[in-house]
Chain A
Amino acid sequence: DAKTTQPPSMDCAEGRAANLPCNHSTISGNEYVYWYRQIHSQGPQYIIHGLKNNETNEMASLIITEDRKSSTLILPHATLRDTAVYYCIVRVNQGGSEKLVFGKGMKLTVNP
């Protein structure tokens, strides 16, 4: 089972910042939060990951709360090409191996 919860969908206006929330209240101290996105009929694309500090790269910023129970992915200037399903993922340990468990994700629609 996924260890994260996300709203099923969200809309954003083109050019505005898109703030995508994720709850992971059962996260352990050494577990990373990963974000991927999947554009229709393509393979998922890695965006960013973090442990407890905020992270930024060329695609997005990741803000993790101090208690690490939630995080927000920020796309600073959303474009139409950012329309996709976004997955917030925490690794789980199953059978001695670390795995990524993808839930249903959140559909972000960027509108003109």
Chain B
Amino acid sequence: DGGITQSPKYLFRKEGQNVTLSCEQNLNHDAMYWYRQDPGQGLRLIYYSQIVNDFQKGDIAEGYSVSREKKESFPLTVTSAQKNPTAFYLCASSLRGAKNIQYFGAGTRLSVL
């Protein structure tokens, strides 16, 4: 079954803790993205990667880190430097190119204990 898988669906973070959100895709897409969504708001781009071993900061990268060691995987780490991490996190992937249709995972909801 092709698609984008995010895990876990719900995640809780303690103060001062780093947590990692998983995103895996089997669509053979080159580009992958991480977005943050706060209640009643649109999506904001955190990081994106157009190709393996390369990634770029989005609009709100502070307090987050990513890696792209494999084409299929683009994990997001929410570090302790992110003071307001409670949000809905969405991962997406797309083929490279002008049409850039992004396909999204089901999301991870992160809360702070």
Contacts and interface: CB of A to CB of B under 8 A. Distances in A.
A43 B101 contact: no
Contact of A49 (B40, B41, B48, B99): B99
B20 to A, nearest CB: 19
How many B residues touch the partner, as a band? 20 to 34
A97 B90 CA distance: 20
B50 A104 contact: no
A44 B43 CA distance: 10
B42 A103 contact: yes
B106 A102 contact: no
A46 B56 contact: no
Interface in A65-101: 87, 91, 95, 97-101
Contacts of B109: 41
B48 A46 contact: no
B56 A44 contact: no
Contact of B41 (A95, A98, A104): A104
B100 A98 contact: yes
Contacts of A2: 42
Contacts of B90: 43-44
Nearest to B109: A41
Given A49-B99, A104-B42, A97 B88 contact: no
A46 B103 contact: yes
16 contacts: A41-B88, A41-B107, A42-B107, A43-B6, A43-B92, A43-B105, A43-B106, A44-B43, A44-B102, A45-B104, A87-B42, A91-B100, A97-B48, A97-B56, A98-B100, A105-B42
